[in-house]
Amino acid sequence: MLEGYRGKAYELLKNINADIGDLLEIISKGIRIEGILMPSYSKDEKIIVIKMDNGYNIGLSLDNISEIKLLNKLRTGKQVAEEIHINEKKSSEIKIISTGGTIVSKVEYETGAVRPALKTEEILQFLPEISDITSIDAEILFSILSENMKPEYWVKIAEKTKEAFDSGNKGVVIAHGTDTMSYTASALAFSLQSLKGPVVLVGSQRSSDRPSSDSSINLLSSILLAKNAPFGEVVINMHGESSDTYTLAHRGVKVRKMHSSRRDAFQSINDKPLAKVFWREKRVEMLRKDYIEKKDETILDAKFDDRAFLLYYYPGLRTEIIDSLISYSKVRGIIIAGTGLGHTSSDYVELFRKAVKDGIFIGMTTQCLFGRVNMNVYTTGRQLLDAGVVPLEDMLPEVALVKLMWTLAHYQDVESIGKIMRTNLVGEINPRHTMDLYPRWSHE
């Protein structure tokens, strides 16, 4: 089936007995180009789309093509999917759960719009190479924008993840929009503290219809990681550099999106990545040995209380705003993103003291991201400690917020909440920092 092709391009491909997924050789303007035939992204009937070895899709016009050959008849995504369904005894090794975003998308030829791929067959058409790596099963759980993610959706994703492992899958890949992916990764890490295999969140900074899209490389490497990684924990896997050599798997509770548009936007904070994935060589290189090992059973504990607040301190923050937050809202816990080693103005000390006495947990993180809080150094920090504000080591503010939501759903009293918040559950607290944990960011 030559999906998307019409007119002259369709006739030419039909004459050489080509199907989507076949390997072609094309001579265009005297240049030999080899690649896999993909569905057409163009309304121009003269355009033929192929995926080159570097992962990019290109469109070639018949006006410039002097020769075209069928080099290898490969199985199409549809044929692979049919084989999976025909052999009912064969279960998938990797489950792909889509929540939205552009990572697994498909161009609608009538409108030019990009929509999420819904079926295993569509994903295999998007990335035929997957069939040479493993067997997959895919479903769309949500089709939402990243900013519309909610705690109740985290619960559903966690439930689907456990279901996937219970049905025999070795790993789970979760397609997610990049903007709030680190929040979801943290939520899954706290909800699934015992895992039978890797849970890999993956996204795309650039949509699949753009020449510089990172969709295919990120997805392919995430499937490789989900199948071959030795750990049983939640990670985010994205481009590790501005080019296309490898991706990096970051621990889900120690990673942040650090750039709005770069393909290598994600970075481990106060931590090292767990693994490097070389997608061309189909190889996973572990960078650390202190990963969480796989367990015999996946245990689900997905409960969240969203009566938590992330307070970003700034000079001039009005005391009545904090008083209103504490006195009139239903908030049960506050995470402060404080300055430096963990500070706010001393004007708020008594307000925080009252809040803690009223049963509201207050935890301190730092806006600096790199480094950790130390509230014993300066007078204001010691005053905040005396008022009952709890230092949260090197936890990222958003990770601390998600952990607090999870903790509030399990504990009622401030003392118990504080104890859990300072306990390292899934690697969210790094007890020791070395110089090699500090920024690797380079502005190219």
- pLDDT tens-digit map of 243-255: 889 999 999 999 9
Q: Give the CA distances from residue 247 to residues 149, 175, 218, 240, in Å, rounded to whole numbers and listed in that order.
A: 25, 15, 7, 4
pLDDT tens digits for range 386-419:
999 999 999 999 999 999 999 999 999 999 999 9
Distance from C-alpha of 174 to C-alpha of 149, rounded to nearest angstrom: 14
Greater confidence (23 vs 311) lies with 311
The pLDDT of residue 19 is 86
3-class state of residue 52 by DSSP:
coil
Write the CATH number of the domain with boundaries 308-421. Answer: 3.40.50.40
Distance from C-alpha of 94 to C-alpha of 135, rounded to nearest angstrom: 6
Assess contact for 356 and 387: CB atoms under 8 A. yes
pTM: 0.82
pLDDT tens digits for range 134-181:
999 988 898 888 899 999 999 999 999 999 999 999 999 999 989 999
Helix (H), strand (E) at residue 37:
strand 31-37
DSSP tag of 294: P
By mean pLDDT, which of 25-39, 41-55, 128-142 is the weakest? 41-55
18-39: b or e for each residue (b if 16 or more CB lie within 10 Å)?
bbbbbbbebebeeeebebbbbb
Q: What percentage of residues in the chain have a pLDDT greater than 70? A: 86
CATH topology of domain 7-72: SH3 type barrels. (2.30.30)
Mean pLDDT, range 258-267, rounded to an integer: 91
Edge-to-edge strand ranges of the sheet holding 283-286: 136-140, 94-98, 171-175, 199-202, 234-239, 247-251, 275-278, 283-286
pLDDT tens digits for range 329-344:
899 999 999 999 999 9
The whole-chain average pLDDT of the chain stands at: 88
Q: Of the candidates 21, 42, 40, 219, which has an alpha carbon nearest to the alpha carbon of residue 125?
A: 21
In 234-388 the beta strands, taken as DSSP E runs, fall at 234-239, 247-251, 255-257, 266-268, 275-278, 283-286, 308-312, 333-338, 361-366
Mean pLDDT, range 44-67, rounded to an integer: 85
Mean pLDDT, range 259-283, rounded to an integer: 93
Q: Of the candidates 59, 55, 44, 40, which has an alpha carbon nearest to the alpha carbon of residue 107?
A: 40
Assess contact for 302 and 288: CB atoms under 8 A. no
By mean pLDDT, which of 214-223, 344-353, 410-419 is the weakest? 214-223
- Which residue type, as a one-letter code, is found at position 406? W
The pLDDT of residue 118 is 53
Greater confidence (106 vs 232) lies with 232
CATH topology of domain 77-286: Rossmann fold (3.40.50)
Mean pLDDT, range 300-319, rounded to an integer: 97
Q: Give the CA distances from residue 437 to residues 212, 214, 271, 338, in Å, rounded to whole numbers and listed in that order.
A: 30, 26, 5, 21
| 28 pLDDT higher than 50 | yes
The pLDDT of residue 102 is 64
The pLDDT of residue 90 is 56
Domains 7-72 and 308-421 equal at CATH topology level: no
Mean pLDDT, range 111-136, rounded to an integer: 70
The pLDDT of residue 191 is 98
By mean pLDDT, which of 110-119, 159-168, 185-194, 324-333 is the weakest? 110-119
Q: What would you report as the CA-atom Rg of the chain, rounded to the nearest whole angstrom?
A: 25
Number of CB atoms found within 10 A of residue 129's CB:
17
Domain ranges for the chain: 7-72, 77-286, 308-421
Q: Of the candidates 311, 367, 309, which has an alpha carbon nearest to the alpha carbon of residue 341?
A: 367
Greater confidence (82 vs 324) lies with 324
Banded pLDDT at 125 (limits 50, 70, 90): low
The pLDDT of residue 124 is 72
Banded pLDDT at 372 (limits 50, 70, 90): very high
Greater confidence (84 vs 65) lies with 65
Mean pLDDT, range 286-310, rounded to an integer: 97
Active site residues: 102, 178-179, 257
Which pair of tokens denotes residue 213?
A: 């899209």
